[in-house]
Amino acid sequence: MGWFKRIKEGIVTPTKEKKETPEGLWYKCPKCKQVVTSIDHANNLWVCDACQYHSRIDSEQYFSFLFDDGKYKELNENISSADPLKFTDTKGYKERIAETQKKSGLTDAVRTATGKINKHTVVMACMDFNFIGGSMGSVVGEKIARAIDHSLRYKIPFIMISKSGGARMMEAAFSLMQMAKTSAKLSLLAQAKIPYISILTDPTTGGITASFAMLGDLNIAEPNALIGFAGPRVVKETIKKDLPEGFQTSEFVLEHGFLDLIVNRKDLKTKLSHLLEIFKK
């Protein structure tokens, strides 16, 4: 016998009196389930205030809070994918690109820009995960290469925000060679002694980890990001055992010696400007 008793059976509010909740007004943290308004969530740089869960965000959002006053000049925004292999799986590659461009409003999986971080001029590249998993094909490789060229020409630091599943399969070996291309460009930056800060965010795997993401003078990650070479599913299938807890998280990668720092997104701008200051003085 319950303490409360339902007097009326079922839902009695008529459909026409039902109150609709507008979409996107609230944000529920997928980890701790805390609910906040979307505006508060954005003001908190898309980090959960309760559990510090970092939502995946895109280049526009990173640029908006990292560059002073959200102002920047985009570089080489008009480069788009060709289809050198005429690749078709369940869909033609050209068609897939066109659709993704339309849906995302992006030209490809990376955007590059120059601007200021607390008055330090930098070149920044940031990947967009919602463009075919942030995968690297010829365009991503070329844009990063050109961004590094810009750094070299004007002797300004290069910052790379990685967020990608790896190389883009639909460009096969062309994608693979972008790893060599970006790494070769970074070697020129290293020779010129221009700082390169790599920021690894959730997720950074495959060919991205095996090229520019791990090559920073400083490697910085956001908390609890997935960082690895082989994806966790592949590792699990290979060893046929369960993976240890926390495997391939930022914290795991730092413990094993491959990251300099883990920085909460809310502190990222301040930390970056301190580091840029150190390189300068």
Partner 1 sequence: MTTYLDFEEPIKIIAEEIEKVKTTGEKTQVDVSKTVKELEKKLKDTTKDIYENLSAWQRVMVSRHPDRPYTLAYIDYITNGTFIELHGDRSVKDDKAMVGGFGMVEGKSVMFIGQQKGINTKMRQYRNFGMANPEGYRKALRLMKLAEKFNKPVVTLIDTPGAFPGIEAEERGQGEAIAKNLMEMSQLKVPIICIIIGEGASGGALGIGVGDKVYMLENTWYSVISPESCSSILWRSWDHKEKAAEALKLTAKDMLHNKLIDGIIKEPLGGAHARPEEAFQLVKETIQKDLVKLCKTKSDKLVESRIKKFCEMGVIEEL
Is residue 89 a contact residue for partner 1 (CB under 8 A)? yes
Identify which range of 22-30, 47-55, 166-174, 260-268 contacts partner 1 by CB under 8 A.
166-174
Cα–Cα distances in Å, from 258 out to 76, 127, 158, 220?
31, 21, 19, 9
Report, in Å, the least distance between residue 280 CB and partner 1.
Answer: 24
Report yes or no: 219 and 204 within 8 Å, Cβ to Cβ: no
Q: Alpha-carbon distance 221 to 193, whole Å?
A: 22
**From candidates 181, 250, 275, 276, binder to partner 1 by CB under 8 A:** 181
Report yes or no: 83 and 94 within 8 Å, Cβ to Cβ: yes
**From candidates 13, 73, 90, 281, binder to partner 1 by CB under 8 A:** 90
Question: Pairing relation of β-strands 196-204 and 218-221?
Answer: parallel
**From candidates 167, 218, 220, 272, binder to partner 1 by CB under 8 A:** 167
Report yes or no: 186 and 150 within 8 Å, Cβ to Cβ: no
- Whether cis (ω within 30° of 0) applies to the bond prior to 195 is no
**What residues from 107 to 136 belong to the interface with partner 1 (CB under 8 A)?**
107
**From candidates 36, 152, 156, 230, binder to partner 1 by CB under 8 A:** 230
Residue 36 vs 230, nearer CB to partner 1: 230
Q: Which of these, 241, 269, 271, 277, lies nearest to 65 by C-alpha position?
A: 269
Chain residues in the site for partner 1 (CB under 8 A)? 78-82, 84-85, 87-90, 107, 137-139, 141-142, 145, 167-169, 171-181, 183-188, 190-191, 206-207, 209-215, 228-230, 234-235, 238-239, 243-244, 247-248, 256-258
